[in-house]
Amino acid sequence: MSKRPLTVLLANPRGFCAGVERAIEIVERALQKYGAPVYVRHEIVHNRFVVESLEAKGAVFVEELDEVPEGVPVIFSAHGVPKEVPTEAERRELFYLDATCPLVSKVHREAERHVRVGHHILLIGHAGHPEVVGTMGQVPENAIQLVESAAEAEQITVADPENLAYITQTTLSVDDTAEIIAVLRRRFPQIHGPKKEDICYATTNRQEAVKSIAQNCDALLVVGAPNSSNSQRLVEVAEREGCKIAILVQRAEDLDWSQLAGVSTLGLTAGASAPEVLVEEVLEACRAHFDVTIQEVSGAVEDVIFKLPKELSDRAATA
C-alpha cells in the first residue's frame, strides 16, 4: 500500500545556538580534564536527551549547591545563577565553572549598571524561569520588578518613573516583548532600555524562520522540551502566524500521528537547546508513515562562536 505524500518544510536556522553549544562543551571538556563525576547545578540546557547523554558520560545534575559534595568540580548552567550561588561556592572552596550564556551575562551586567546609576529595573520575563531567577539575583531585591505581559505593564506602579530602566529575558517572543516595551515606553517616556535588544540573536532568528513557513504549513512541529522557553515561544509564533496545528514534541516517540491526519505540508523546526539528531529522528518517523519530500527553507546564517572559560581552553586543557 502506497504512503500518502508529505512535504516537510525544514526551517533554518533551527536547533543549537552558540550558547548551548558552549555550555555542553564545557561539561564535556570538564569530564575529559577532571574525570567523572562533574556536578552541574540545574539542567545545563533544557533538553532531557542532552542531559541524559551527559549523565551517561559522568555528569551529575543537581538542583542546588548543597547537593554538591566537597572536592568535585561544579558547573553552573547556561541560564545563569544568582550571585549568591558563586559566593556560596567560594565560601565552600568549591572549584566551579560558569557556563552562563554570554548573552545572558550581558543582561546581568546591564542590571548591575542600572542599579549603580540609581535606576529601578523592570525585568520582562517569565516568573520562575532559571534565567529570570538568575538575573533578579544580580541586584538587591527591591531594585527590580518582574513584568510578564502587556496587561501587567499597563498596571505596574513604580516609586520614581523618572529613574526607570527595562531589561528582558533572552528567550522571549519578539512580538510579545515589543508590545510590552511599547506599553512601558508610553507610560514611562523616560525609561531607559538596552542599546541592543536583550532577546538573543538565536531566539530572534528561529522565530523569524518559523514565521517564514508557518502560513504555508498545515501543521508545524517544534522539537524541544516543555521547560524550554525559546521552544515554547516557537509554538506560539506559529499559532500567531495562522498555523492551526502547532505542536511541541520532545522525541519522535511522543508524536500523536492522529494530529497529522490530513496534513500534506508539515513545518519542522527545533528550539535552541534541541540537537539536530532529534530532528533527524522525527524525519525518520515521518518517513515510516508518509512518502516524505524535504524542502530546506533558507534563513539567517549564524556564525557566532563563544569562547570557553580559560580553564578549559585548548592550552589549559592540555597543560
Q: Output the CA torsion sign for 99, 103, 106, 107.
A: negative
- The cell for 239 is 499559532
Q: Are 77 and 20 in contact (CB under 8 A)?
A: no
Q: Which of 155, 154, 181 is nearest to 168 (CA)?
A: 181
> From start to end of the chain, where are the E strands?
4-10, 38-41, 59-62, 74-76, 96-98, 120-124, 144-147, 164-168, 219-223, 245-249, 265-270, 290-296
- CA dist 155 and 149 (Å) reads 10
Per annotation, catalytic residue among 21, 43, 110, 131: 131
Report the alpha-carbon distance of residue 290 to residue 308 in Å, rounded: 43
Radius of gyration of the chain (CA): 21
Q: Report which of 223, 227, 125 is spatially closest to residue 170, judged by C-alpha positions.
A: 125
Q: What is Dmax (Cα atoms) for the chain? A: 71
Q: How far is CA 235 from the centre of its chain?
A: 14
DSSP 2: P
Contact, 63 vs 290, CB < 8 A? Answer: no
Q: Is 55 a catalytic residue?
A: no
Backbone angles phi, psi at 235, to 5 degrees: -60, -45
Which residues have a catalytic role annotated?
A: 131
